[in-house]
């Protein structure tokens, strides 16, 4: 079990002055401000709808809200920086005004979009590319001094399917984290969260291999985010659809908690919060 690890993971994040304790796993709710996200029910294209969804997720127990205006599903259409910014910033501003207590994460690989969102009131940067698709991202994070989610991916959302080839997926992802984190640390970035990037340039067997060894990433002593919500690795295995993948998502999230996940990134907050509550109770009685 994760509690028996010899490694002491960093257990707090400083989100613009709000200290977040990750010793009890937290839930991050997904709000997609894009018309072509893979899970249709997560799309919130109208500002008022996005604000309503934010309130609903906060009420259900989300600690973070992850806002994305660029679809990163395999083969998604590329959009301009301007279009991404125009979609994103009004929603960030509206949520900040309505729910000033909300901790907002921005799902973008573009440094200029990230900076604009942070200046509008967001708190974290969630970069699917780990700084590989924008050379300015790491320096921007260091200058803004905000938590950074470092995800593993190869290529781009448009090319990653063709790049899902590994001799040893765990070793490649682990070494990637070491190399990228060293650069962040050298720049003075204090709060880094790791994300193995389930489904990003990975076949289902690669994702499950990483899930099976999730606890081994504790050697890096950094918090771990797991984002498997309704993904193909689940519904493909079960021969269902994303719409029918909630039960499978809860199973995988529970396994991730048992293996040391600190943040669950999900479409369905209530179910994830319940999984965390049950896991915490089991740990309390061990």
Q: Is the pTM of this model over 0.75?
A: yes
**What pLDDT digit, counting tens, does each position of 115-125 carry?**
999 999 999 99
Task: Tell me the domain boundaries of the chain.
Answer: 25-285
Q: What average pLDDT does the segment 263-282 reach?
A: 97
3-state percent breakdown (helix, strand, coil) of the chain, nearest 5: 45, 15, 35
Q: What average pLDDT does the segment 192-203 reach?
A: 96
**What pLDDT digit, counting tens, does each position of 212-271 carry?**
999 999 999 999 999 999 999 999 999 999 999 999 999 999 999 999 999 999 999 999
Pairing of strands 18-21, 26-32: unpaired
DSSP state of 133: S
Please indicate whether residue 180 is annotated as part of the active site: no
Integer Cα distance of 218 and 229 in angstroms: 22
Residue 261 pLDDT: 98
Q: Is 285 a residue whose pLDDT tops 50?
A: yes
Please indicate whether residue 265 is annotated as part of the active site: yes
Burial (CB count within 10 angstroms: exposed 0-12, middle 13-18, buried 19+), residue 279:
buried
Q: Is 1 a residue whose pLDDT tops 50?
A: no
186 pLDDT band (50/70/90 cuts)?
very high
Integer Cα distance of 150 and 196 in angstroms: 8
**What pLDDT digit, counting tens, does each position of 34-83 carry?**
875 544 554 456 899 899 999 999 999 999 999 999 987 766 678 899 99
Among residues 180, 231, 232, 259, the one annotated as catalytic is: 231
Among residues 26, 43, 259, 265, the one annotated as catalytic is: 265
Q: Is 30 a residue whose pLDDT tops 90?
A: yes
Residue 149 pLDDT: 98
Residue 42 pLDDT: 47
- Of 129-138, 161-170, 227-236, which gets the smallest average pLDDT? 161-170
Residue 188 pLDDT: 97
What Rg value do the Cα atoms of the chain yield, rounded? Answer: 17
Residue 119 pLDDT: 97
Q: Which fold has domain 25-285?
A: TIM Barrel (3.20.20)
Q: What average pLDDT does the segment 195-215 reach?
A: 97
28 pLDDT band (50/70/90 cuts)?
very high
Integer Cα distance of 42 and 249 in angstroms: 15
The H or E element spanning position 220 is: none
Helix axes 169-186, 204-212, angle to 10 degrees: 70
Write the CA distances from 174 to 36, 85, 217, integer angstroms. 31, 32, 7
């Amino acid at each position: 079990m994760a509690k028996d690890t010899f490694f002491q993971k960093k257990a707090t994040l400083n989100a613009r002055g709000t200290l977040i304790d990750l010793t009890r796993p937290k839930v991050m709710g997904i709000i997609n401000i894009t018309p072509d996200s893979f899970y249709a029910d997560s799309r919130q294209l109208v500002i008022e709808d996005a604000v309503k969804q934010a309130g609903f997720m906060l009420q259900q127990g989300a600690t973070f809200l992850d806002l994305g205006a660029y679809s990163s599903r395999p083969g998604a259409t590329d959009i301009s920086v301007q279009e991404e910014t125009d979609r994103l910033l009004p929603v960030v501003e509206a949520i900040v005004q309505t729910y000033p207590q909300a901790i907002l994460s921005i799902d973008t690989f573009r440094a200029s979009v990230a900076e604009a969102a942070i200046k509008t009131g967001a708190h974290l940067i969630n970069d699917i590319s780990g700084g590989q698709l924008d050379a300015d991202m790491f320096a921007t994070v260091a200058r803004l001094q905000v938590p950074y989610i470092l995800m593993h991916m190869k290529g781009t959302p448009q090319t990653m399917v063709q790049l899902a080839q590994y001799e040893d997926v765990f070793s490649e992802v682990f070494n990637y984290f070491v190399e990228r984190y060293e650069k962040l640390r050298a720049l003075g970035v204090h709060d880094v969260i790791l994300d193995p990037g389930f489904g990003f340039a990975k076949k289902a067997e690669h994702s499950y291999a990483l899930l099976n060894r999730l606890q081994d990433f504790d050697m890096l002593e950094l918090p771990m985010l797991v984002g498997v919500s309704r993904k193909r690795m689940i519904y493909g295995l079960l021969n269902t659809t994303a719409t029918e993948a909630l039960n499978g998502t809860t199973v995988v999230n529970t396994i991730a908690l048992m293996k040391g996940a600190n943040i669950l990134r999900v479409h369905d907050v209530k179910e994830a919060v319940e999984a965390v509550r049950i896991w915490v109770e089991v740990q309390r009685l061990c």
